[in-house]
Amino acid sequence: MSDAELVLRSTRVITPEGTRAASVAVTDGRITAVLPHDAPVPESARLEDLGDHVLLPGLVDTHVHVNDPGRTEWEGFWTATRAAAAGGITTLVDMPLNSLPPTTTVPHLRTKQQVAADKAHIDVGFWGGALPDNVKELRSLHEAGVFGFKAFLSPSGVDEFPHLERDQLARTMAEIAAFGGLLIVHAEDPHLLSSAPQRGGPKYADFLASRPRDAEDTAIARLIREAKALDARVHVLHLSSSDALPMIAQARAEGVRVTVETCPHYLTLTAEEVPDGASEFKCCPPIREAANQDLLWQALADGTIDCVVTDHSPSTADLKTDDFATAWGGISGLQLSLAAVWTEARRRGHGLEDVVRWMSTRTSELVGLDDRKGAIAVGRDADFAVLAPDETFTVDPVALQHRNHVTAYAGRTLHGVVKSTWLRGQRIVADGEFTEPKGRLLTRTS
């Protein structure tokens, strides 16, 4: 570490080998050494002694709807990346829909990159979108650096992003498999959704009944069948139904290349506690019962679920009406994901190492960024969150950096206060004070 510019020292550094007292040396934005806590600091280096605060790798959130440009009143790159930074996230991958244009052609990707470039407080990458009519665009989007392609098997909620019918899924999957890409899927079966009782209104139980587990299970089963037939790599987005877990585990055991994510709201909120009319809790698939949640935690523990991502999908407050059928479906939680998951994880006896694995290491692996992100290890970017894990705070929506102050976590007391967040060795936020944007745009190949 003789040429180190910066040394971060903590009694609790989370490394791939476990948590230990260490000094982390940084040069040119990268980690160059992980040394004993009392290692001498070279004269060239600035020492940042974090005391007992935990130093963890910055989180990598691969499921965020930034909505910029086009629906910037819902969220935008400026607000989303500040919120993310405040929550300990140093990389996000933006979903291809809800912005206008959606990320479904290379020119659209360029538009989005241009908009994001000078607003990104953290590193930003992009997913592409797979629509019924853009199969011929996928390879060029792949070559332009998107991390994979999102498709819906049921209506997406916005007209400009139609879902894939059965034959279209097979065609899309075959095309993506041909160039070794990744297909990520919103898996709910449209026929089972339309045959479920659609009562509408303010009762959460009615909404839950309108998006049954069976719709998820059936769509996931189909996805697995197609992936197996084509030897394609697929990823199940925002798993909510625990009933799908055994077949996922079985498919993986048989060598099917399927990975799975779930979200903080499925892990920390339950159907039983959603008040009538409280559509800030509406998302698709829905938040289910407490017993379902227990099984999701079990699957995280045993590795059937790979990772945890926010699926931050906000809207303006006026779209969050008290009718669950028509209210915007999406939960806003970007800034709170680390604290929310940590609060419940610790209650269930998991460690911060587990949270780091689910929210940083595995998500980096999902998008192939694990040579740069996702661990405090030599050669990785010096992206960090500094966390006081035992400190608590009560969620005040107005105090969040999200564009809109609507969140299902309002009023909750959470464990884990992010003291500062670092990107490539530079502190980008500390105690609510942000620097100018220092994020970079990431591509799959660079």
d(CA 364, CA 244): 24
Could you check whether the bond before residue 202 is cis, i.e. omega within 30 degrees of 0?
no
Sole window of 157-165, 187-195, 306-314, 406-414 interacting with Zn ion (rule: CB under 5 A): 306-314
b (16+ CB within 10 A) / e for 402-411: bbbebbbbbe
Decide if 115 contacts 68 (C-beta within 8 A): yes
Sole window of 177-185, 221-229, 262-270, 311-319 interacting with Zn ion (rule: CB under 5 A): 311-319
Taking CB positions, which residue lies at the least distance from Zn ion? 311
**Minimum Å distance from CB 257 to Zn ion?**
21
User: Restricting to residues 152-211, which ones interact with Zn ion according to CB under 5 A?
Assistant: none
**Minimum Å distance from CB 235 to Zn ion?**
12
Regarding beta strands 258-262 and 234-236, do their DSSP bridges make them parallel or antiparallel, or are they unpaired? Answer: parallel
Binding-site annotation: residue ranges for Zn(2+): 63, 65, 150, 186, 238, 311
**CB nearer Zn ion, residue 311 or residue 381:** 311
Q: What is the DSSP letter of 286?
A: P
- Residues 94, 175, 311, 370: which binds Zn ion (CB under 5 A)? 311
Is residue 72 classed exposed, middle or buried when 0-12, 13-18 and 19+ CB atoms within 10 A define those classes? middle
Q: What does the longest C-alpha to C-alpha distance in the chain come to?
A: 70
**CB nearer Zn ion, residue 94 or residue 311:** 311
Beta strands across the sheet bearing 89-94: 59-64, 89-94, 123-126
Give how many residues touch Zn ion by CB under 5 A: 1
**Minimum Å distance from CB 207 to Zn ion?**
17
**Minimum Å distance from CB 63 to Zn ion?**
6
Sole window of 109-117, 153-161, 204-212, 309-317 interacting with Zn ion (rule: CB under 5 A): 309-317
Sole window of 45-53, 268-276, 307-315, 414-422 interacting with Zn ion (rule: CB under 5 A): 307-315
b (16+ CB within 10 A) / e for 87-111: bbbbbbbbbbbbbebbbbbbebbeb
**CB nearer Zn ion, residue 10 or residue 332:** 332
d(CA 335, CA 416): 12
- Any contact of residue 61 with Zn ion (CB under 5 A)? no
**Minimum Å distance from CB 102 to Zn ion?**
13
In the complex, the residues that contact Zn ion under the rule CB under 5 A are 311
